[in-house]
Amino acid sequence: MNEEKLYAVRNEDGKYWDFNGNRNFGRVENNHSTAIASKKLATIISNLNGGHVVTFVQEPKKVVLSKEQAKIVEDAHDDKYPANYISGNSDEEKLLMEAFVNGYTVAKEKKYNVKVPHTEGWHFHKYSSASKSGDANGRKPFPANDNDTNLNKSLMLFTKAEIEHYGLQDCEKEEVTDDAD
């Protein structure tokens, strides 16, 4: 991993050396430049003026994981031998170890509007006890007109798992790109 580092000189009062402006210690907001790329120069300044060199390293990017992968990493934190736990529970050891060390985020699951076949402007809507159909639809998705303002539009969003669960795989799907939910 190619790390770019910056260096600053900080004194015992918590003030930083100003490399471009006053060339003395001051508060960060009053300085023109408190960090430089040369560790050698920062060391020379600290030796001549007191203080110590502080290294700034860019935080590594977090790994994007699925929910299942994230569960493995979480469980590894509780295990006596985390690396063994990860390698024993996944074929993606390198990715999960990187997530274990650098942190991770869980990928948002894609969501889709599912079109009702042979209609224009109709999509499937998930059951809701608050919906107009109430219990009459038997807790299954039902056709709904896109222009119906009484419907909760977030209930028209289906994950791939929900599409399979309700048997809607053969219907045309539109991926929803903005986070409406």
Q: How many Cβ atoms sit within 10 Å of the Cβ of residue 22?
A: 12
In tens digits, the chain (181 residues) has pLDDT values of 445 788 999 999 888 888 886 777 877 666 667 788 889 999 998 999 889 999 988 888 888 898 889 999 999 999 999 999 998 988 888 999 999 998 999 888 888 889 988 888 888 888 766 555 544 445 677 787 777 777 777 788 888 888 888 889 888 898 887 654 4
The per-residue b/e assignment along 28-67, b for 16 or more CB within 10 angstroms, e otherwise, is eeebeebbbeeeeebeebbeeeebebbeeeeeeeebebee
Q: How many Cβ atoms sit within 10 Å of the Cβ of residue 128?
A: 15
